[in-house]
């Protein structure tokens, strides 16, 4: 999915030339998301939170193509871009001829009732891809909630569903992910 989607709610759309302003406005939120993503990474990780934010911003600029983007979608897309950058970084390291090791990330969200086990970011990506094959909307809820740290109300708004539907998708996805991740161990 592109970083910008024309299905965003019309009441808070901003022209893409306002991405700079939104980036500055939401920098503390983006910093928090990046620091959470980086917290579980190995100590010698070559990316730092600031670099991860900047890479995500550049990715958003490249994908915006002059389209309007909502404030909520901006935060979700920035978080998703950070996750994609970490996955790309892990793939690059694993392809290293010297036998690079997988990056480890600790997955947690303050009010998420999933185990805070360390897992490989590429394993997470693979599991989310399988979930998307089963239930695309549930996978999107996981990405927005788990990776983006958005609230259920924000997720419901982005997906154009009721909050209750988003919560139902989240409940299903958590149970499915627990089972899949348990089987991977």
Query: Is residue 4, in this structure, part of any structural domain at all?
Result: no
Pick from 83, 179, 88: nearest CA to 131 = 179
Query: Is residue 28, in this structure, part of any structural domain at all?
Result: yes
Domain that holds residue 87: 12-184
Query: Is residue 87, in this structure, part of any structural domain at all?
Result: yes
End-to-end, the C-alpha distance of the chain in Å comes to: 30
Identify the H or E element spanning 2: none
Query: Is residue 1, in this structure, part of any structural domain at all?
Result: no
Q: In the chain, how many domains are there?
A: 1
| Crossing angle (nearest 10°) for helices 49-64 and 19-39 | 140
Q: What is the pLDDT of residues 139-184, one digit of tens each?
A: 999 988 877 778 899 899 989 999 999 999 999 999 998 888 888 7
pTM of the model: 0.62
Query: Is residue 6, in this structure, part of any structural domain at all?
Result: no
DSSP string spanning 45-92?
Answer: -S--HHHHHHHHHHHHHHHHTT--EEHHHHHHHHHHHHHHHHHHHHHH
Query: Is residue 62, in this structure, part of any structural domain at all?
Result: yes
Query: Is residue 110, in this structure, part of any structural domain at all?
Result: yes
Query: Is residue 7, in this structure, part of any structural domain at all?
Result: no
Task: Provide φ and ψ at 86, rounded to 5°.
Answer: -60, -40
Reduced to 3 states (helix: H, G, I; strand: E, B; else coil), residue 165 is helix
Q: What is the pLDDT of residues 13-45, one digit of tens each?
A: 545 557 778 888 888 888 888 887 777 666 666
Mean pLDDT for the stretch of residues 129-134: 93
């Amino acid at each position: 999915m592109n970083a910008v989607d024309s299905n965003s709610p019309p009441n808070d759309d901003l022209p893409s030339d306002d991405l700079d302003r939104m980036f500055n406005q939401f920098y503390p939120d983006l910093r928090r998301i990046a620091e959470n993503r980086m917290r579980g990474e190995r100590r010698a990780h070559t990316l730092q939170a600031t670099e991860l934010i900047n890479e995500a911003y550049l990715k958003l600029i490249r994908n915006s193509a002059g389209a309007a983007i909502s404030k909520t979608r901006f935060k979700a897309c920035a978080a998703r871009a950070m996750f994609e950058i970490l996955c790309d970084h892990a793939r690059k390291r694993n392809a290293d001829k010297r036998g690079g090791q997988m990056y480890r990330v600790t997955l947690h969200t303050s009010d998420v009732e999933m185990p805070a086990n360390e897992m490989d970011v590429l394993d997470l990506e693979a599991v989310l891809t399988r979930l998307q094959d089963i239930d695309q909307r549930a996978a999107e809820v996981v990405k927005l909630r788990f990776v983006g740290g958005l609230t259920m109300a924000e997720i419901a708004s982005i997906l154009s569903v009721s909050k209750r539907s988003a919560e139902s998708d989240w409940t299903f996805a958590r149970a499915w992910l627990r089972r899949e991740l348990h089987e991977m161990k």
